[in-house]
Structure 1
Amino acid sequence: MLKSLTITNYALIDYLDMDFGPGFSVITGETGAGKSIILGALSLVLGQRAESRHIKQGETKCTVESVFDISKYDLRPFFEAHDWVYDADELILRREVWSNGRSRAFVNDSPVYLNDLKELGDRLIDIHSQHQNLALNDELFQLMVIDSLAQTQGLRNAYAEAYAAFRSAEKQLNDLRELSRKNKAEEDYLRFQFQALADAALQPEEQETLEAELEAITHAEEIKSALFALTSLLSGNEQNVESMLKSALESARSIRHVFPKTEDIAARIESAYIDLKDVRQEAEQLFEEVDFNPERQQWIEDRLSLIYSLEKKHAVTDVQALIDLQQEIAAKLKNSESLDEKIAGLEKEEKEKREDMLEKARRLSEMRRAAVPSIEHGIIEKLAYLGIPNARFEIRMAEKTQPNETGIDRMRFWFSANKNTDLQPLEQIASGGEISRLMLCIKALIAGATALPTIIFDEIDTGTSGEMADKMGSIMQHMGSDMQVIAITHLPQIASKGSAHYVVYKEENDEGTRTYMKKLSDEERVPEIARMLSGAETTTEAIENAKVMLGVNG
C-alpha cells in the first residue's frame, strides 16, 4: 500500500508531501490543475524513464520519494534475488533526476538499476490510464486477464520454463545440424588434405636435417679437396705435422734424464700429437663418407620440394606446424563422424522437451478454458449493473499453429452491447464509454481473484456520467475493501464515494504558476463536490446535492 509521496522540484511542484491510507481514495481538481503531474511523478519513482524537462524550471535537480507498507506482501524472494536490503514492513523508493540528463534510483537508500526498479514497481502499483483501455484490444493483454482470473501463475511459470528448455534444445539441435551440414560439405576436402599430409609421412626436424645434407652434397668436391689437403698436411708426406711433432717429442724425452724440466714439455707435445692424430683419422673418415651421389641429391631435393609446397599451401613455416595441422584435421574428421551420434542424442532430448512443453501447454489451456464460463458470467453481471443489461461477452479460444512463450492458445474477446447486434471482436464494436465500463469490470474481477497491492484509476470514468458513474464509483469503493484504490476523476458521483479525498489545484503569483495538493476535511469536501456538480459558479442547489451525496447532515 502506498503510504506517502514526496515530490521536490518536479514540473510545477516546488514541494509536496502527501500521506495516503487504505481503502478507496479520490483525487479531483479542475482541468489543467496538475493531476497528471502528480501521476507522472509517481510513475517516475516506479521506474519510468526520466527527462530533464521534468525538472522545475530554474532548478538543477528533482526528487520523488514514495513509502510503501509491504507487510502483507512477501517480497523477500525478490529482494534476495537482487541482493537488496529487505525490510518486511516498509519500503522506500527514491528517484533523483538532474538537469544534465543523469538520474539515479534507490530502494531503501541503496542505488539500483532502473529496470529493476520498474520490475519492483510493477509489483506494487497497477496504474490504469485511459491509454490502457486500448490495451483491452490486444491479444496478449486479453490472455493476461484470463491467466490472472484463472490463477494460472504456477502452471504458466512451469510452462515458461519448459518452453525455454525446449527452445534451447531446439537451437542446440539446429546448430549441430548446421555444423554437420557444413562439415559434410568440406569433409571430402578435409580428407584430401589429411591424406596428402599422411602420405608425406613428415618427421619432426626433418626439414633442417635434409637441408644440411643437401648443402653437403652440393659442395662434395670442395669438401673432399679440403679434407684431403688437411690429412696430407697432417700425415701425407715426409714433412707433415705428425712426423715433426713425433721428432719434437723424441728430442724432449732424450734430455729429461739430465734436464727434468723438459718432462712437462714432453707431456704437452705428446698430448698435442695424440689430438692431431685423432683429428687426422676423423678427417680421413669424413673424406670417405663425403661422396657426390646424384640420386640421393635428387631424392632430397624432391623431398624438400614436397615439404616447401605443403608449407606454402597451408601458410606455415615449418614441418612441426604441418604435423600439428594433420592432427587437427584428423580431430575434425573424427568429430564429424561423431556428430551423427550427437545429433541422434539431441533429437531424442528435443523430442522429450517438446512433449513436456506441450503437455504443460495443454494443461494450461485446459485451466484457461475451465475458467472462461465464470469469467464471462462475472463480466456480463457487472456490465448489467453498469447499465448494459443486454451485454453479451464471449472469450473465444483457438489453438496456435505453433506454441510460443504464452502457450498454445489464441485469445479474443467478443462483445455486443445489444440484443440485436451480433457479437464482434471487441475492437470493432465497443464505444469509449463501454470500453471504460468493461475495463473496470475486468479490473474488479482481477482484484477479487489476485492480491493486487494498489490500483490507481486515471479517469477510467471517461464517457460515463449520472447513474452509471455512481455505480462505477460503488464498484471501486467495493474494491477498496480488499485493496488500496485511488481514482483520479472529474465526476462527483465517483468522488463522493471515496473514504479520503484529495484535491489538486494551481496558484499563480509573481514567481509563476505552482501546483499543490491537499487532503480535504469532511467540511472541505462539500464545496469541492458542489464545484464538480455545478461548474465555475457553485450554486446553493449544488451545495445541498453535495451534502446528500456525502451523507452530510445539515
Structure 2
Amino acid sequence: MLANLSIQNYALIDDVNVSFANGFTTITGETGAGKSILLGGLSLVLGKRADLSSLKNEEQKCVIEAEFDISNYDLQSFFEENDLDYEKVTILRREILPSGKSRAFVNDSPVTLDILKSLGDQLIDVHSQHQTMRLTENDFQMKVVDALANNAQNISHYSEELSKLKRASKELRELEDFQSNADKEHEYNSFLLKELEEAKLKEGMQEELESEYEQLSNVEQIMEQLAAGYQLLNDEQMGITGRLADLKRAIQQLAEFGDGFKSLNERIQSVLIETDDIASEIEQMKDTVEANPERLEVVNGRLQQLYDLQKKHHTDSVTELIAIREDLAQKVDAVANIEAKIAAKKAEVAEITKTVDQWANTIHQARKSVIPQLKEMLQQNLSELGMPSATFKIEVTPSNTFKTSGKDDLIFLFSANKGSSYGELKKVASGGELSRIMLTIKSILAQYEHLPTMMFDEIDTGVSGEISTKMGDIMQQMSKTMQVFSITHLPQVASKGKYQYKVYKEEGEQGTSTHIRQLGNEERVRELAEMLGGKNLSESALAHARELLQ
C-alpha cells in the first residue's frame, strides 16, 4: 500500500508531501493542473529513467520518496536475494542531481535502477494508455487465462522441468558435437597413445637412462681410472693404504703419553678404515665394469625414443609426456564410450520431455476448462459498461513447441458489435473499448490474484454518464481487497472514492507550482459541482454533486 509520497524540485512541483490510506482514492484537477506531473514523479521513484529536464530548479537536486506498507506482501525473499534490509514500512527514494546523475535507494541502501524497478513493479501497477496496449499482447492475455485457471503451481512445475530439459538437451548436443569432431581425431589420437604406451614411461627414467648411457659410452676410461686408483691405494712400495698403516703404528706407540696422542691415533685409525673401504669398493667396481655394446645400443635406442617423443609433443620431460598420455587415454576412452553416453542422454531427454509434456497438458486442460467462464465474465461486465454486444472468441490449442508457460497457442479475438467479424483487439477495438476491457480484466484478476496497489490514469477517457458510474463501481469494488487510485476527469468516478485529492496550480513570485491536497466533504461537493457545471456553481450542480456523494 502506498502510504506517503514526497516530491521535491520536480517539473512544476517545488515541494509536495501527501499521505494516502487504503481503499479507493480518486485524484481530480483541471486539465494542465499537473496530474500527469504527479504520476511522472511517482514513475521516477518506481524506476523510470530521468533526465535533467525533470528538475524545476536545475541548480538543485530532485528528490522523490515513496513510502509503502509491505507487511501484506510476501517480499522477504526479494530483499534477501538483493541484500537489502527488509522493513514492513519500506521507503523507495530517487535522487536526480544537477550534474545529470541519478541515484536510487531502498531503505537508504543504494540500489541499481533495475532493482528499484523490479521492486516497484511488485508494489504498484500504474495503468496508463501505454499499459492498455499490453491487453493486445498474447502473453498478457495468457496470464489472464492462467489466473482464472489457478495455473501458477502447474506452471512452476512445468518451468522447473523445462529447465531440466534445456540442460539435458544442451548436454546431448555437446556429446553429439564431440562425437562428430572426435571421430576425425580418434584414429590419430589412438596412434599417438599407442606410441606413448609402448615407451613404458615412468618418472625418473630419463635421468637413469642418461646416467647409464654415460657409463657405457666411457667404459674404457672408467676401467683405466679405477685401475690407477686401485694401484695408488695398494702399491706394495708406495701404496696409500700401506703408508697409512706405517703411520698408524708410529703414532700408536705415543698414545699412552697423553690424550692428545691418543686422539690423533684414533683419527688415523678412522682414516685407515675408510681408505680400506674405498680400496675394496674400487676393486669391486674394477672387476664388474666391462664393455657392453649390446646394452649401450638398447639404452641409446630408448633415449632416442624419448627425445623423439618430446620433440613431437613439444615437451622437455617425461613427466609432461606422461600427462599427455593420460589426456590422450581419456580422449580415446571418451570416443570409445560416446555411443553409450549419447544413448543414455537421449533416454534422459526423452524421459524429461515426457514429464514436461504431462505438465503442459495439465496446464492446457486447466486453461481450456475456464475459457467459458472467462468469456461470460468479460461479456457480462462489458455489457454493464455500455458494450452489450461485445463478444469474445477465446481458444487455447496445443502446439508442438515448448514455451515459457506451456505448449499452447492462444486465440483471443473480439467483436464489439452484433454481426461484426472477430478480429485481434489491437485491430478492431477502439481506445475507449480497450480501456473498458482492461478495467474489466483487472477487476477479474483482482478476484484471483493478490494484486499490488492499482493506479488508473484516466482509464475512463471516452465514456460518460451511467457507464462512468459503473466503472467507478468496479474500481470501488476492487478497493475492498486492495488499494486503488483513479486519476479522473469524471465526477461520477471521482465521487466513488473513499478519499478525494485535488491537484491544482498556483502562481507566485517564483513562478507557477503544482500542489495536491485532500478534500473535505464540502470541498468535495464544490469540486464535483465544478466538474459537472464549471466554475459558476449552480444550486442544481451542487445538489447533483451531493447526490453523487451520497
TM range (shorter): 0.7 to 0.9
The verdict on how the C-alpha distance between 1:274 and 1:117 changes in structure 2, with shifts beyond 3 A counting, is closer
Q: How does 1:180-329 map to 2 (within 5 A)?
A: 180-235=179-234, 238-242=237-241, 275-329=274-328
Q: Distance in 2 between matches of 1:232 and 1:151?
A: 106
Shift of 1:283: 3.3
* Structure 2 residue aligned with 1:358: 357
Which stretch of structure 1 is more off in the superposition, 361-370 or 445-454?
A: 445-454
Please, what is the CA RMSD of the aligned residues?
A: 3.5
Q: Kindly provide the CA deviation profile for residues 220-258 of structure 1, in whole angstroms up to 9, marking residues without a partner as x.
A: 3433333343334444575554555566667778x8799
The verdict on how the C-alpha distance between 1:394 and 1:550 changes in structure 2, with shifts beyond 3 A counting, is farther
* Structure 2 residue aligned with 1:8: 8
Contact 1:44 1:95 (C-alpha < 8 Å) held by counterparts = no
Counterpart residue type for residue 306 of structure 1? Q
Counterpart residue type for residue 34 of structure 1? G
Shift of 1:366: 1.1
Q: Kindly provide the CA deviation profile for residues 285-317 of structure 1, in whole angstroms up to 9, marking residues without a partner as x.
A: 434444444443333222111111112222332
* Structure 2 residue aligned with 1:34: 34
Shift of 1:197: 1.1
Which stretch of structure 1 is more off in the superposition, 448-457 or 217-226?
A: 217-226
Contact 1:496 1:550 (C-alpha < 8 Å) held by counterparts = no
Shift of 1:345: 4.0
Verify: 1:551 aligned to 2:544, yes or no.
no
Q: Distance in 2 between matches of 1:504 and 1:454?
A: 20
Q: How does 1:95-106 map to 2 (within 5 A)?
A: 95-99=93-97, 100=99, 101-106=101-106
Q: Distance in 2 between matches of 1:387 and 1:337?
A: 73
Contact 1:228 1:287 (C-alpha < 8 Å) held by counterparts = yes
The verdict on how the C-alpha distance between 1:295 and 1:437 changes in structure 2, with shifts beyond 3 A counting, is same
Verify: 1:93 aligned to 2:91, yes or no.
yes
Partner SS state of residue 413, structure 1: strand
Counterpart residue type for residue 94 of structure 2? E
Counterpart residue type for residue 97 of structure 1? E
Q: Distance in 1 between matches of 2:83 and 2:266?
A: 89
Q: Distance in 1 between matches of 2:454 and 2:287?
A: 107
Counterpart residue type for residue 142 of structure 2? L
Partner SS state of residue 412, structure 2: strand
Shift of 1:152: 2.2
Q: Distance in 2 between matches of 1:128 and 1:266?
A: 112
* Structure 2 residue aligned with 1:24: 24
Partner SS state of residue 136, structure 1: helix
Partner SS state of residue 551, structure 1: helix
Shift of 1:163: 2.2
* Structure 2 residue aligned with 1:57: 57
Shift of 1:364: 1.1
Which stretch of structure 1 is more off in the superposition, 40-49 or 232-241?
A: 232-241
Q: Kindly provide the CA deviation profile for residues 64-94 of structure 1, in whole angstroms up to 9, marking residues without a partner as x.
A: 333344555555666677676656xx52322
Which stretch of structure 1 is more off in the superposition, 194-203 or 97-106?
A: 97-106
Partner SS state of residue 172, structure 2: helix
Counterpart residue type for residue 547 of structure 2? G
Which stretch of structure 1 is more off in the superposition, 479-488 or 281-290?
A: 281-290
Contact 2:69 2:90 (C-alpha < 8 Å) held by counterparts = no
Which stretch of structure 1 is more off in the superposition, 418-427 or 503-512?
A: 503-512
Partner SS state of residue 422, structure 1: coil
Partner SS state of residue 296, structure 1: helix
Q: Kindly provide the CA deviation profile for residues 197-234 of structure 1, in whole angstroms up to 9, marking residues without a partner as x.
A: 11111233221122122223333343333334333444
Q: How does 1:402-421 map to 2 (within 5 A)?
A: 402-421=401-420
Q: Distance in 1 between matches of 2:267 and 2:81?
A: 89
Q: Kindly provide the CA deviation profile for residues 165-207 of structure 1, in whole angstroms up to 9, marking residues without a partner as x.
A: 3323333333344445444443333322221111111233221
Which stretch of structure 1 is more off in the superposition, 136-145 or 352-361?
A: 352-361
Q: Distance in 1 between matches of 2:245 and 2:22?
A: 125
Shift of 1:406: 1.2
Counterpart residue type for residue 223 of structure 2? K
Which stretch of structure 1 is more off in the superposition, 135-144 or 318-327?
A: 318-327
Which stretch of structure 1 is more off in the superposition, 126-135 or 10-19?
A: 10-19
Partner SS state of residue 123, structure 1: helix
Q: Distance in 2 between matches of 1:116 and 1:271?
A: 86
* Structure 1 residue aligned with 2:148: 149
The verdict on how the C-alpha distance between 1:318 and 1:4 changes in structure 2, with shifts beyond 3 A counting, is same
Counterpart residue type for residue 9 of structure 1? N
* Structure 1 residue aligned with 2:455: 456
Q: Distance in 2 between matches of 1:74 and 1:249?
A: 100
The verdict on how the C-alpha distance between 1:548 and 1:398 changes in structure 2, with shifts beyond 3 A counting, is same
* Structure 2 residue aligned with 1:501: 500
Gaps of 5+ in 1: none
Q: Distance in 2 between matches of 1:314 and 1:257?
A: 68
The verdict on how the C-alpha distance between 1:247 and 1:169 changes in structure 2, with shifts beyond 3 A counting, is closer
TM-score (norm 1): 0.86
Shift of 1:129: 0.6
Counterpart residue type for residue 30 of structure 1? E
Partner SS state of residue 485, structure 2: strand
Contact 1:52 1:97 (C-alpha < 8 Å) held by counterparts = no
Shift of 1:259: 9.6
Counterpart residue type for residue 8 of structure 2? T
The verdict on how the C-alpha distance between 1:252 and 1:507 changes in structure 2, with shifts beyond 3 A counting, is closer
Q: Distance in 2 between matches of 1:252 and 1:26?
A: 125
Which stretch of structure 1 is more off in the superposition, 317-326 or 198-207?
A: 317-326
Which stretch of structure 1 is more off in the superposition, 214-223 or 233-242?
A: 233-242
Counterpart residue type for residue 460 of structure 1? I
The verdict on how the C-alpha distance between 1:256 and 1:165 changes in structure 2, with shifts beyond 3 A counting, is closer
Counterpart residue type for residue 140 of structure 1? D
Counterpart residue type for residue 322 of structure 2? I
Shift of 1:502: 1.5
The verdict on how the C-alpha distance between 1:228 and 1:484 changes in structure 2, with shifts beyond 3 A counting, is closer
The verdict on how the C-alpha distance between 1:227 and 1:372 changes in structure 2, with shifts beyond 3 A counting, is same
Q: Structure 1 vs Structure 2: percent identity of aligned residues?
A: 40
Count matched residues.
Answer: 546
Q: How does 1:330-409 map to 2 (within 5 A)?
A: 330-409=329-408
Q: Distance in 2 between matches of 1:248 and 1:447?
A: 117
Which stretch of structure 1 is more off in the superposition, 342-351 or 209-218?
A: 342-351
Gaps of 5+ in 2: none
